[in-house]
A and B are shown apart, each in its own frame.
Chain A
Amino acid sequence: EAGVTQFPSHSVIEKGQTVTLRCDPISGHDNLYWYRRVMGKEIKFLLHFVKESKQDESGMPNNRFLAERTGGTYSTLKVQPAELEDSGVYFCASSQGPGLAGGPETQYFGPGTRLLVL
């Protein structure tokens, strides 16, 4: 079974440009999450989709970030316009739902997209 995949693996752009990150979750996983780790800091939650609906977007830093999940399959995260402080690693994770009683569904993480804004 294929894991969570992310594209591109690396992206270098200039300040003010637009970048779109893509995440393909594990097939059949209803839950999709985006996280990011900026240099030297902790991995932070951005948002959570359940199928195509945004369940929680409390971690989105500002309106320059737009996430979509068309048809409840893959998701994109667009940054427009990119700023220097957006540099970091963007992780996507997915989990099944609804889960088994008694505990959380494990979130499976992708390899991340390393974004550098110059």
Chain B
Amino acid sequence: AQSVTQLGSHVSVSEGALVLLRCNYSSSVPPYLFWYVQYPNQGLQLLLKYTTGATLVKGINGFEAEFKKSETSFHLTKPSAHMSDAAEYFCAAVKTSYDKVIFGPGTSLSVIP
């Protein structure tokens, strides 16, 4: 069965530092991959998605992720953290176009002033 793992349930970075949130998927066929963010007391918002084509995907708020098939990874990065980036981040996968979303366990990001 397909699964999504995220290394680190909680990550803390200093304001202005690099943000790196790790995600790996387990599938014989690469799925479609997503990153969602949930800000406090809000719903899930799509940050970015990978379907086909370019493996480096740019999203909103300065985030980007790179699909690496050889490593079955889809890590999320941002060069410089802002206080407003504090939220919970979910890596997710979809096997086919209208299939259910398989979520990773989530990583809570804290940004230290």
Contact = CB atoms under 8 A, between A and B. Distances in A.
Interface in A90-107: 91, 93, 95, 97, 99, 102-107
B106 A95 contact: no
Interface stretch (A13-21, A61-69, A73-81, A109-117): A109-117
B100 A59 contact: yes
Number of chain A interface residues as a range: 20 to 34
Contacts, number: 64
B97 A103 contact: yes
B18 interface: no
Given A42-B106, A43-B90, A102-B51, A107 B101 contact: yes
Nearest to A4: B43
Interface string A34-70: 0100000111110010100001100100000000000
A31 interface: yes
Interface residues of B, number: 24
B46 A103 contact: no
B90 A104 contact: no
A108 interface: yes
Chain A CB count within 10 A is highest, among B43, B96, B104, B106, for: B43
A44 B75 CA distance: 21
Interface in B24-58: 32, 34, 36, 42-46, 49, 51-52
5 contacts: A4-B43, A43-B103, A45-B100, A106-B49, A109-B44
Given A4-B43, A103-B49, 9 more contacts: A43-B103, A43-B106, A44-B103, A45-B102, A59-B100, A97-B98, A99-B98, A108-B46, A109-B43
